[in-house]
């Protein structure tokens, strides 16, 4: 078995599995960007690797050899990938691309629903108050962006806690967290191993908004208390799909625990390790393709010698 042809696949798996575990101790903003970049690279490397492995079976066909002018018989002798493995990679590739197409359609429909929700709200101001006894607050991304607060939540919280909720939701809109999560969802549709990264991304964007709110208000305890009260009050409140709810996304317990201690510092060792893994994954397809190209060049030389 030749290692180079499988190297991108192995690095795509590593890039899907390792970063969600590394970013837990990073500042939320760095964690979100790290997860997004690693997820995109993992998805692209995953697809390329599956395509490269599957293509080796196609190159075994004599008709392909005659068209591209290389010896299919010689290729069957030097092919580093077994036929079963190549066919399996092709099946997985087809499934991943199909699932990506379905996920893309779902994202388009969800974005349309969010735009429709924004139009239904009707008002031009960013903050919208709705007469609803159910306590809830959420950010509606896109154009125009909206922050929706229910009368039930306003009655539940005191003025300082209301400011904390508003600061949290403004952070979602300012940082465009809905786009970060959309990228993670689409990447996880391409590579199923990225689902843990998608879940980690939900917690990370909520932590990012929590930290922004705590920084704006200068009171981490207030933000933590608000999160607990809002989560308890809105536990059974229905939230529209495609929005970022103040206490409906992420692990509330971990978010509160993080707010009750000092904000995490940037750890360059983790950033360097993640960057090294990402660079290796990005470069590996070139290395693998060059290795396959060298083997194909040998088959072309065989054709010329035979002639």
* pLDDT at residue 125, as a whole number: 78
- Which range, of 49-53, 119-123, 151-155, 186-190, averages the lowest pLDDT? 119-123
Residues 208-215, mean pLDDT to the nearest whole number? 96
- Which range, of 54-68, 118-132, 259-273, averages the lowest pLDDT? 54-68
Residues 77-103, mean pLDDT to the nearest whole number? 87
Residues 124-148, mean pLDDT to the nearest whole number? 84
* pLDDT at residue 261, as a whole number: 93
* pLDDT at residue 307, as a whole number: 42
> What sign results for the dihedral spanned by CA atoms 132, 137, 138, 139?
positive
* pLDDT at residue 13, as a whole number: 92
CA distances from 11 to 16, 45, 172, 278, 282 (A): 8, 8, 32, 9, 9
Highest mean pLDDT among 2-6, 266-270, 290-294: 266-270
Residues 254-269, mean pLDDT to the nearest whole number? 91
In this predicted model, what pLDDT tens digit does every residue of 267-285 receive, in sequence order?
888 888 888 988 998 888 8
pLDDT tops 60 at residue 63? no
pLDDT tops 50 at residue 304? no
**Distance between first and last Cα of the chain:** 30
* pLDDT at residue 36, as a whole number: 95
Locate 90 and state its tokens: 């092709």
Q: What is the secondary structure of 54-82 as a DSSP string?
A: HHHHHTT-HHHHHHHTS-HHHHHHH-SS-
pLDDT tops 80 at residue 123? no
pLDDT tops 90 at residue 239? no
pLDDT tops 80 at residue 189? yes
Pick from 206, 275, 223, 184: nearest CA to 28: 206
pLDDT tops 90 at residue 117? no
CA distances from 187 to 12, 43, 92, 199 (A): 12, 6, 15, 12
Per-residue pLDDT band at 301 (split at 50, 70, 90): low
- Which range, of 114-123, 193-202, 223-232, 245-254, averages the lowest pLDDT? 114-123
Q: Where are the alpha helices (DSSP H) in 59-145?
A: 62-68, 72-78, 83-121
- Which range, of 29-33, 82-86, 161-165, averages the lowest pLDDT? 82-86
> Please, are residues 284 and 45 in contact by the beta-carbon 8 Å criterion?
yes
Q: For residue 244, give the 3-state DSSP assignment.
A: strand
**In 10 A of CB 202, how many CB atoms?**
18
pLDDT tops 60 at residue 74? no
């Amino acid at each position: 078995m030749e290692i180079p042809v499988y190297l991108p696949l192995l690095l795509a798996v590593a890039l899907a599995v390792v970063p969600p575990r590394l970013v837990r101790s990073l500042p939320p903003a760095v964690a979100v960007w790290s997860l997004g970049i690693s997820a995109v690279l993992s998805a692209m490397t995953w697809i390329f690797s599956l395509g490269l492995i599957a293509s080796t079976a196609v190159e075994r066909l004599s008709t392909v050899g005659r068209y591209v002018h290389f010896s299919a018989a010689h290729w069957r002798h030097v092919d580093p990938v077994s036929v079963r493995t190549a066919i399996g990679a092709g099946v997985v590739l087809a499934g991943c691309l199909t699932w990506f197409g379905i996920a893309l359609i779902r994202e388009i429909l969800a974005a349309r629903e969010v735009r429709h929700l924004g139009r239904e709200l009707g008002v031009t101001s960013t903050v919208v108050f709705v007469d609803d006894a159910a306590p809830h607050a959420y950010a509606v991304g896109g154009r125009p962006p909206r922050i929706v607060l229910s009368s039930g939540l306003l009655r539940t919280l005191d003025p300082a806690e209301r400011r904390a909720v508003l600061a949290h939701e403004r952070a979602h809109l300012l940082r465009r967290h809905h786009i970060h999560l959309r990228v993670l969802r689409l990447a996880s549709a391409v590579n199923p191993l990225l689902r843990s990264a998608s879940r980690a991304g939900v917690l990370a964007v909520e932590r990012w908004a929590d930290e922004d709110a705590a920084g704006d208000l200068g009171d981490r305890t207030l933000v933590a208390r608000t999160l607990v009260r809002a989560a308890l009050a809105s536990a059974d409140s229905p939230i529209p799909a495609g929005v970022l709810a103040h206490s409906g996304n992420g692990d509330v317990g971990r978010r509160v625990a993080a707010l009750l201690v000092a904000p995490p510092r940037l750890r360059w060792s983790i950033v360097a390790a993640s960057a090294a893994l990402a660079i290796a994954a990005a470069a590996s397809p070139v290395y693998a393709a060059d290795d396959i190209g060298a083997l194909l060049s040998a088959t072309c030389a065989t054709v010329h010698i035979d002639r």
